[in-house]
């Protein structure tokens, strides 16, 4: 059984024997790569389908049980309704077919395989309509329209949380299975036993948008600085770099004191910063899941998130695995962060409960097995790997070697 995975793939996170210097930059998201790695560790042959704006012709790269097919991606695809990207990806898929395809996200990476005759399961990782409401621009309108086409055309859907599932219409829910996101097996391998907590809190967000709500967090930090004058605030991700939108906002409101505008970083460096932080603050107004919170829980860093922010309350076990606040209120955010920083007993309890809740509900073993069971159900037959899956010790050795390279 060859399983296809269509989506934004971070090629440098894949566990394969390929020189990363020879790889083009692709549209990338870590979860897609973690999903592929999880299938490879269980002995499956996998074909990944992704896209890049750096290539003139489609590329195919193979290593062991993994083949990556890269189609072309042109600038400003929204103006063309992603027609070129979808068609180029469709041709690439048909030239390198899998037995079944898991399409991560309900946009171009799902629309293309749905145009083939290959059975396709579409994974819903956000709520397009909610994003359009929070960011009402032409690009998000195009994305919502593509999502509408994909969701109605697909016969099998996976929602990444109960929150995402509940946003769907009654008919759509009938063809949808809820399978949560997961943290990868090797995430614990990245934990440093000698890591020392720094005197900073951290927010990781991709974009300075109304939905991500960084501006309210900046105001909350100005309140915290009065109580903790040595505390720093690290802002990581798109639009949080020096000179970016986050810094421009802070400068305009005279709120830059104590804030480090770091911007985008590689996945491993972000996780290291999270592990060394005193706390992860997630001010987002809406999340279909919240991967960075899950990663912080595994890193044993306490979390503060929004009590009405989509799936966040459930991910934080309704206040047991992390504290919840009103993200519309700088005072509420500051108060909950201060509770954690000033109470060592509470701090240790949140670390313990967060880690336990993550391990029990969102580990790779728990979630990948659910995906394989659903794949078997969709295909109407057992999903048999090409080779024997790696044992726990073999898996640890494979991960250790991949981290070293």
Q: Residue 398's pLDDT is what?
A: 40
Is residue 405 a part of any domain in this protein? Answer: no
Is residue 402 a part of any domain in this protein? Answer: no
Whether residue 231 sits in one domain with residue 156: no
pLDDT band, very low/low/confident/very high, at 387 (cuts 50, 70, 90): confident
Whether residue 300 sits in one domain with residue 253: yes
Beta sheet of 279-282, edge-to-edge order:
259-263, 232-236, 200-204, 279-282, 303-306, 323-325
Whether residue 304 sits in one domain with residue 155: no
Whether residue 244 sits in one domain with residue 115: no
pLDDT tens by residue, 271-292: 999 999 999 999 999 999 999 9
Is residue 395 a part of any domain in this protein? Answer: no
Whether residue 283 sits in one domain with residue 205: yes
**What tokens were used for 87?**
């068609």
**What tokens were used for 141?**
């309108």
CA distances from 18 to 87, 96, 153 (A): 27, 19, 36
Is residue 7 a part of any domain in this protein? Answer: yes
Whether residue 34 sits in one domain with residue 151: yes
Q: Residue 390's pLDDT is what?
A: 53
Whether residue 315 sits in one domain with residue 244: yes
Q: What are 279's strand-pairing partners?
A: 201
Contact 30, 177 (CB under 8 A): no
Q: Residue 159's pLDDT is what?
A: 98
Whether residue 369 sits in one domain with residue 268: no
Whether residue 159 sits in one domain with residue 224: no
Is residue 398 a part of any domain in this protein? Answer: no
Whether residue 292 sits in one domain with residue 170: no
**Residue 326: which of 287, 366, 285, 292 has the closest Cα?**
285
Q: Mean pLDDT across the chain, nearest whole number?
A: 94
Contact 398, 390 (CB under 8 A): yes
How much of the chain exceeds pLDDT 70, in percent? 96
Query: Does 339 score more than 80 pLDDT?
Result: yes
Q: How many CB atoms lie within 10 A of CB 144?
A: 18
Query: At 104, which CATH number?
Result: 3.40.50.2000
For the question of whether the overall pTM of this predicted structure is more than 0.75, the answer is yes
Give me the number of domains the chain comprises. 2
Domain hosting 52: range is 2-182+363-384
Is residue 15 a part of any domain in this protein? Answer: yes
Query: Does 403 score more than 80 pLDDT?
Result: no
Is residue 249 a part of any domain in this protein? Answer: yes
Is residue 394 a part of any domain in this protein? Answer: no
Q: Residue 189's pLDDT is what?
A: 83
pLDDT tens by residue, 176-190: 999 999 999 888 888
Whether residue 141 sits in one domain with residue 46: yes
Q: Tell me the C-alpha distance between 388 and 32, whole Å.
A: 22
Q: Tell me the C-alpha distance between 183 and 290, whole Å.
A: 11
pLDDT tens by residue, 60-85: 999 999 999 999 999 999 999 999 99
Query: Does 395 score more than 60 pLDDT?
Result: no
- The Cα angle at residue 149 between residues 147 and 152, in degrees rounded to 5: 100
pLDDT band, very low/low/confident/very high, at 386 (cuts 50, 70, 90): confident
Whether residue 199 sits in one domain with residue 175: no
């Amino acid at each position: 059984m060859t399983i296809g995975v269509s989506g934004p793939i971070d090629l440098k996170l894949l566990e394969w024997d390929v020189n990363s210097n020879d790889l083009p930059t692709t549209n990338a998201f870590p979860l897609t790569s973690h999903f592929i790695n999880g299938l490879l560790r269980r002995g499956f042959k996998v074909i990944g389908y992704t896209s890049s704006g750096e290539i003139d012709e489609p590329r195919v790269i193979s290593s062991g049980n993994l083949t990556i097919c890269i189609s072309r991606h042109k600038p400003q695809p929204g103006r063309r309704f992603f027609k070129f990207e979808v068609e180029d990806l469709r041709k690439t898929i048909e030239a390198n077919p899998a037995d079944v395809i898991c399409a991560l996200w309900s946009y171009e990476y799902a629309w293309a395989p749905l145009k083939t005759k290959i059975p396709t399961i579409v994974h819903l990782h956000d709520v397009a309509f909610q994003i359009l409401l929070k960011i009402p621009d032409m690009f998000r309108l195009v994305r919502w329209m593509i999502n509408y086409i994909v969701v109605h055309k697909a016969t099998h859907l996976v929602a990444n949380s109960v929150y995402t599932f509940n946003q769907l219409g009654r008919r759509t829910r009938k063809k949808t299975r809820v399978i949560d996101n997961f943290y990868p097996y090797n995430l614990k391998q990245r934990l440093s036993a000698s890591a020392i907590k720094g005197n900073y809190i951290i927010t990781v967000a991709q974009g300075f948008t109304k939905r991500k709500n960084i501006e309210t967090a900046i105001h909350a930090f100005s309140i915290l600085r009065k109580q903790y004058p040595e505390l720093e605030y690290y802002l990581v991700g798109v639009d949080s770099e020096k000179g970016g939108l986050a810094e421009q906002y802070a400068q305009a409101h005279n709120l830059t004191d104590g804030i480090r505008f770091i911007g985008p970083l590689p996945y491993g460096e972000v996780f290291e910063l999270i592990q060394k932080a005193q706390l992860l603050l997630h001010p987002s107004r809406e999340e279909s899941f919240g991967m960075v919170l899950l990663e912080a829980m595994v890193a044993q860093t306490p979390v503060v998130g929004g009590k009405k922010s989509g799936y966040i309350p459930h991910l934080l076990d309704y206040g047991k695995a992390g504290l919840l606040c009103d993200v519309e209120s700088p005072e509420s955010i500051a108060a909950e962060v201060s509770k954690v920083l000033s109470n060592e007993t509470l701090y240790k309890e949140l670390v313990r409960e967060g880690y336990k809740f993550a391990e029990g509900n969102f580990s790779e073993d728990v979630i990948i097995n659910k995906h394989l069971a659903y794949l078997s159900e969709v295909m109407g037959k057992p999903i048999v790997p090409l080779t024997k899956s790696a044992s726990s010790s073999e898996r640890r050795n494979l991960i250790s070697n991949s981290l070293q390279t």
